[in-house]
Amino acid sequence: MASSLTKDSASTSGSEKTFFGHPRGLATLFMTEMWERFSYYGMRALLPLYLIAPNGLHMNPATATAIYSVYVSLVYLLAMPGGWFGDRVWGPRKTVAVAGGVIMIGHLALALPMEGTFFVGLGLVAIGSGLLKSNISTMVGQLYDGPDDPRRDGGFTIFYMGINVGAFAAPLVIGTVGENVNWHLGFALAAAGMALGLVQFLMGTRHLNERSLVVPKPLSAAERASTLRKGMIWMAIAAVFYIITVVTGVYTLNWILVPITVAGLVIPVLVLARIKRDKELSAAEQSKMSGYIWFFVAAAIFWMIYDQGGSTLAIFADSSAENSVFGWDFPVSWYQSVNPVLIMALAPVFAAFWLALNRRGKEPSTIVKFSSGLVLVGASFFLFLAPLTIATDGHKAAAMWLVAIYFVQTVAELTLSPVGLSVTTKMAPAKYASQMMGVWFLAVTAGDCTTGLLSIAGVDLNGTGVVTLQAALAAAAGVAIFMYRNKVKQLMGDVR
């Protein structure tokens, strides 16, 4: 990427190096995010396969899906406290640096061939990802002269390309090594990727805005002492509880999985209820929050199905798909590269398509786009019924069935996800403007925790009945939003 640096005659100094016409710091953050996503998606592609492999942890598919779902939900659940740390304790730059170190140590723990360190590693990667997620986006925004800087949207577009470049390359590299050479060597490669990202971040911090060093709302001494005391009390309670379960011999993995999945469903409800009950909100803000709840619930259903692309579909591919093209076999983890490469190919097409429709006054409303995304993700699971039906009596389904499912899900994502991010910022009450993006991430948490609870309950998510039910639920949710679009539009007020 260094070769892409150019001289920008429009820069403030006239000779300042830029990154595709953007502040030089964008290159630092682009590369940090790319390597972090490389490590995250590479490990995630291996995770369910390692959990069920005879030479891995050899778990049953339901347990593997539960662990995968809980892990992904934790990453998004911890984005809110991660943003809080950046705002109140360390500042964005220090928080991202610490997060990179925690993620790297987590991957190294996964690389050790021991079950105990494996789960410690998963926890560390989730914590680090939560710390990094909100704060690195904050630093991208700080590179520009406020929200009206004409380069701002383009800068975020380039930054998000880093996510997809890392996500595309990771399964091809880490997945291949993990599946074909050694699982733990694959996890070690994820650690190496994060190490590269951390080193270049530390070397490039001089190009970041000085505001990234500032703690926007630092805790007072009293608040710091109170927070630390409460944290230590809850940690002590948890430690004593789990020591008792281990000593008495009643401990199983569900003692960890069930509380996390329940928390992942309860916390979003409590957060939304707290905001909705806030008497300081105006009537217009209260109305918008009522409308936003429609989008939130629908998004949770969407992510419940979408995120099974890395668990339910991957496990099906491992046991029941013919993972080859024109006679050439490929690792199961490579399916996880399909979505990011489709995102990179289709995102510009969608952007141009919406713009063309807008010029003609025919661009669909936010509600229509959202409902379309839900119907499409439901359609992807209706499509899943075909390979499920084929893969009986020893037969295996063709790889292109799975590619087709990922294609439909990608189209659904491009229809719903950008709209969800946009409507979250537009409908956020002024008091909660900085927190609402974390609330959006809680929809992902709720969706993945629903999957986790189903798996813990022993539900076979590769069963045709369950797949049909989920597909119908998503499609029905999409239709419901469309049918009640006038009511939702009224609640949204001036947001369109």
> In the prediction, which pLDDT does 16 show?
59
Q: Quote the CA–CA distance of 458 and 437 in Å, as a whole number.
A: 33
pLDDT greater at residue 16 or residue 491: 491
Q: pLDDT tens digit string along 289-303?
A: 999 999 999 999 999
- Taking a C-beta distance cutoff of 8 angstroms, is the pair 62, 459 a contact? yes
Backbone angles phi, psi at 220, to 5 degrees: -75, 170
Tell me the C-alpha distance between 20 and 24, whole Å.
Answer: 9
Q: How far apart are CA 418 and CA 351, in angstroms?
A: 10
Go through the chain and tell me how many residues it has: 496
Q: Give the separation between CA 271 and CA 325, rounded to whole angstroms.
A: 47
pLDDT tens digit string along 360-390? 988 888 889 999 999 999 999 999 999 999 9
Banded pLDDT at 11 (limits 50, 70, 90): very low
**Model confidence at 268: pLDDT above 80:** yes
Structure tokens belonging to residue 314: 């991957």
Is the pLDDT confidence value at 76 over 60?
Answer: yes
pLDDT the model gives residue 489: 81
Give the pLDDT score at 426: 81
Query: 429 pLDDT exceeds 90?
Result: no
Q: Taking the alpha carbons of 376, 363, 295, 81 in that order, is the dihedral positive or negative?
A: positive
**Statement: residue 455 has pLDDT above 90:** yes
Q: What is the largest CA-CA distance in the chain?
A: 71
Helices (H), strands (E): how many in the chain?
A: 18, 7
Amino acid symbol at 299: A
CB 180 within 8 A of CB 61: no
CA atoms within 13 Å, Cβ hemisphere of 469: 10
Ranges of H-type helices in 149-220: 152-170, 176-180, 183-204
- What are the tens digits of pLDDT across the range 188-221? 999 999 999 999 999 999 999 898 898 888 999 9
Q: pLDDT band for position 434 (50/70/90)?
A: low
In the prediction, which pLDDT does 496 show? 62
Least confident of 252-256, 417-421, 445-449: 417-421
306: tokens are 């979408």
Whether residue 152 is predicted with pLDDT greater than 80 in this model: the reply is no
| pLDDT given at position 326 | 85
Q: What proportion of the chain, given as a percentage, has pLDDT over 70?
A: 95
In the prediction, which pLDDT does 55 show?
93
Q: What is the DSSP letter of 9?
A: T
